[in-house]
Amino acid sequence: METIEAYLERKHCELRLLNDCLSHRLDLTRPRSVDEGVASKFRITAALRAEHELQAWKATETSWSLAAKPVSGPFEFRYDYQRADLTVCGPSFYEFEGSGMSKAIYTASGMAAISAVLLASAQIVEKADLLVLPGSYGETLELIKGLVPHLRLAALSLPLGDAFASANSPKILLLDSCALAGAFEAAVRSDGSGLDFMIFDTTCFAGSSGRIRRVLSWARRYGIPLVLVRSHNKLDSLGAEYGRLGSAVFVQGNDDRQRAGWSDWRRLEAETRNAVRLLGGAALPAHFPPFVGSAAYRDLTKRRVAAILRNGRSTARYFAARLPALSAELHFAHGLYVTLRGSRPLDEASARQAAEDMSNELRAEGLPIRHAGSFGFDFAATEWFHDATTDQYSVRVAVSDLPTQVWDDLTAAIARWWQVRQSRGGGG
């Protein structure tokens, strides 16, 4: 259990880390409340972005000045016109050494990263089956259905059975950190020897997560080449959503278990770089958090994520006990959010309205909650949620990094509000 005093001291450490990246530091005091800490964090990150622009004024899209040497903290950049050949030198967002990982291909968002990989795969395979688990990210599935016709979407269900067995056409597994916990666990316990390639979206796992290590070990065991794709403005910027940034990192398969076609998959890294260039999806140097990479940053990030996961587990238990009929999904692999269903089926509009009403009313009571379409903040965030595999709508409650008692009080307030709202008819 973390007390409010211990929490505020930890937030002060995060603020100092951010503030130390400024050339002209802000007058920083220890936050006296959750809201004060949130406001200070966003104020400092805004100052960091502004300072970057003022210092990097020579590094324009046309790279007109030979004197331009764009940097962002520990990150150094080289590029020509419109960053089509962007080269980044700096620390990794992952904490895995000696695992055969390539240099990251940075993109303008997580969706830009996975889009480039999926579209580039058309240069490797004419047709392939893309296996997806229940709970996989809706926009990724929408992308595949609408814009990637050479990949046949195969939605899996439990038990997986022989879903990963070899077939006449190549099989690609999309392993998403958004997947349901049971499905994710079943996948990494399966025989993967029939898979030809894997795309692993790590966005909802911390960069040091044991889940990522486990997947890398599983892929190595079966000789599966894979690529890690990620959005970095969730768990990698201390809850401040510093800027839109994504990446793709290719990981070599086990050389002792190379299967037919392995050399073709090794070409995918180069094809992905080319796709990023042609799609105009390269990252912006201004979006690289300058506070990444230090021991202090890694320690504070681990402590933040650990607090969110602890709060997430307690929320799942509480909602299971108090809202058994109104809980949609409480056990995602990542543990970062839960979803609530209505007493009557929700559509997008009614789910969106319910999320907004709940946030506004509970916030008016002084609770740290907002209607915001993301997660990993220092406040609870609510938003509508669409399960692309079931086509059902619900309300997502993103768990936050808050002191234990504050979060427990907020969890109880959410449960009371939702129960009362649904007992009145449950609509939007």
What strand order describes the sheet that includes 369-371?
A: 327-329, 337-340, 392-398, 380-387, 369-371
The 10s digit of each residue's pLDDT in 24-60 is 999 999 999 999 999 999 999 999 999 998 888 877 7
In this prediction, what percent of the chain has a pLDDT beyond 70? Answer: 94
Its CATH architecture, for the domain 71-279, is 3-Layer(aba) Sandwich (3.40)
The kind and range of the H/E element at 141 are helix 138-147
Residue limits of CATH 3.40.640.10 in the chain: 71-279
Class of domain 296-423: alpha beta
**Per-chain mean pLDDT for the chain:** 93
Classify each residue of 77-100 as buried b or exposed e, where b means 16 or more C-beta atoms within 10 Å of its C-beta.
Answer: bebeeebeebebebeebbebeeee
Alpha-carbon gap, residue 149 to 143, rounded angstroms = 10
Q: Which two tokens stand for residue 78?
A: 């080289």
- Per-residue pLDDT tens digits for 406-425: 999 999 999 999 999 998 86
How far is the C-alpha of 85 from the C-alpha of 370, rounded, in Å?
A: 39
Indicate where the chain has its CATH 3.90.1150 domain(s). 296-423
Token reading at 44: 């400092």
Pair of tokens at residue 110: 């997580």
Q: Tens digit of pLDDT per residue, the chain (428 long)?
A: 899 999 999 999 999 999 999 999 999 999 999 999 999 999 999 999 999 988 888 777 766 666 667 899 999 998 887 788 899 999 999 998 666 788 999 999 999 999 999 999 999 999 999 999 999 999 999 999 999 999 999 999 999 999 999 988 999 999 999 999 999 999 999 999 999 999 999 999 999 999 999 999 999 999 999 999 999 999 999 999 899 999 999 997 665 445 545 567 889 999 999 999 999 999 999 999 999 999 999 999 999 999 999 999 999 999 999 999 999 999 999 999 999 999 999 999 999 999 999 999 999 999 999 999 999 999 999 999 999 888 899 999 999 999 999 999 999 999 999 999 998 865 55
- Cβ-count burial of 428 within 10 angstroms (0-12 exposed, 13-18 middle, 19+ buried)? middle
Q: Across the strands, what pairs with 19? A: none
Q: What are the tens digits of pLDDT across the range 239-269?
A: 998 999 999 999 976 654 455 455 678 899 9
Question: What DSSP character marks residue 56?
Answer: T
